[in-house]
């Protein structure tokens, strides 16, 4: 049975488990995708792995699926947070999508001195994260935090977590990155807004014991490129790409 659709649901999954389908998903599954009774759907809920389920009821506004077999075990992303400043809408959406694909455990939008946009719709961004997880085959869903001032996030910083900061002052100096990231150590990556960080923010970051500046090459990267690059470097040396 070939499943054309992969769907996040917020219900328990397991052998013989029935899954209720609400109005929105019924419309997608049975009207848009035209799945008949008996068709296969892949389901994940962020806890129970991925399951192949079969359509057993396909109504206009409701339906039901029945889980058959587990197709992937539950996989957790490494304990990596992404801290970034919301930018223009399209590029903010892009950062959230890429963070899910590349594999983070938590997305943390922060406002800084030069943040251009404080607009952050937590519900919409969670929906973006779900869509990205459905597409990339992830079985987890990262936490999507509400927007907070960077100063607050730094003041509440949890013990034992390192913060890798893409410091634009290092552009062109290109120190070795190898050896900076360590597997098994809770980590976070911080990228700034367009315009970078203020002098005060930079001084504060440099003074914090859990902050590790990193370089992302000799050119100035846009915020979304810096976010992706830092996540790729961390994943390939300390995360689940090894």
Told to check if 144 binds a second copy by CB under 8 A, we report: no
Report the distance separating Cα 220 and Cα 169, nearest Å. Answer: 10
Window contacting a second copy (CB under 8 A); options: 31-39, 97-105, 147-155, 202-210: 97-105
DSSP states of 53-106 = EEEEEE-SS-EEEEEEEEEE---PPPSEEEEE---SHHHHHHHHHHHHHH--SE
Q: Which residue stretch of 60-68, 110-118, 134-142, 201-209 sits at the interface with a second copy (rule: CB under 8 A)?
A: 134-142
Least spacing, CB of residue 135 vs a second copy, in Å:
7
Q: CB neighbours of 121 closer than 8 A, spacing ≥ 6? A: none
Closest CB to a second copy among residues 9, 132:
132
By the rule CB under 8 A, 233 interacts with a second copy: yes
The 8-class DSSP code of residue 241 comes to T
Which one among 174, 183, 203, 208 touches a second copy, defined by CB under 8 A? 174
CB of 236 to a second copy, least distance (A): 6
Q: Which of 40, 149, 195, 217 binds a second copy (CB under 8 A)?
A: 217
Buried b / exposed e over 8-45, threshold 16 CB at 10 Å, is bbeeebeeebebebeeebbeebbeeeebeeebbbbbbb
Site residues (CB under 8 A) for a second copy? 75, 98, 101-103, 135-138, 174, 176-177, 215-222, 225, 228-229, 232-233, 235-236, 239-242
């Amino acid at each position: 049975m070939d499943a054309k659709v992969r769907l996040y649901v917020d219900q328990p999954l397991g052998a013989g488990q029935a899954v209720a389908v609400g109005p929105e998903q019924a419309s997608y599954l049975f009207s848009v995708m035209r799945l008949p009774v008996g068709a296969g759907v892949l389901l994940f809920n962020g806890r129970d792995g991925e399951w192949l389920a079969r359509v057993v009821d396909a109504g206009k506004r409701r339906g039901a699926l029945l889980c058959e077999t587990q197709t992937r075990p539950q996989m957790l992303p490494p304990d990596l947070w992404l801290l970034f400043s919301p930018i223009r809408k399209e590029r903010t959406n892009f950062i959230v999508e890429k963070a899910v694909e590349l594999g983070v455990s938590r997305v943390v939008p922060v406002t800084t001195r030069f943040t251009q946009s404080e607009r952050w719709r937590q519900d919409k961004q969670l929906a973006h994260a779900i869509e990205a997880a459905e597409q990339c085959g992830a079985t987890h869903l990262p936490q999507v935090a509400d927007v907070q001032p960077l100063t607050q996030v730094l003041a509440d910083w949890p013990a034992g977590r390192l913060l890798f900061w893409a410091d634009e002052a290092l552009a062109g100096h290109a120190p070795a990155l190898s050896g900076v990231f360590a597997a098994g150590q809770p980590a976070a990556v911080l990228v700034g807004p367009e315009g970078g960080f203020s002098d005060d923010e930079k001084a504060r970051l440099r003074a914090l014991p859990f902050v590790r500046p990193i370089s992302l090459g000799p050119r100035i990267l846009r915020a979304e490129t810096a976010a992706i690059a830092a996540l790729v470097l961390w994943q390939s040396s300390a995360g689940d790409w090894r």
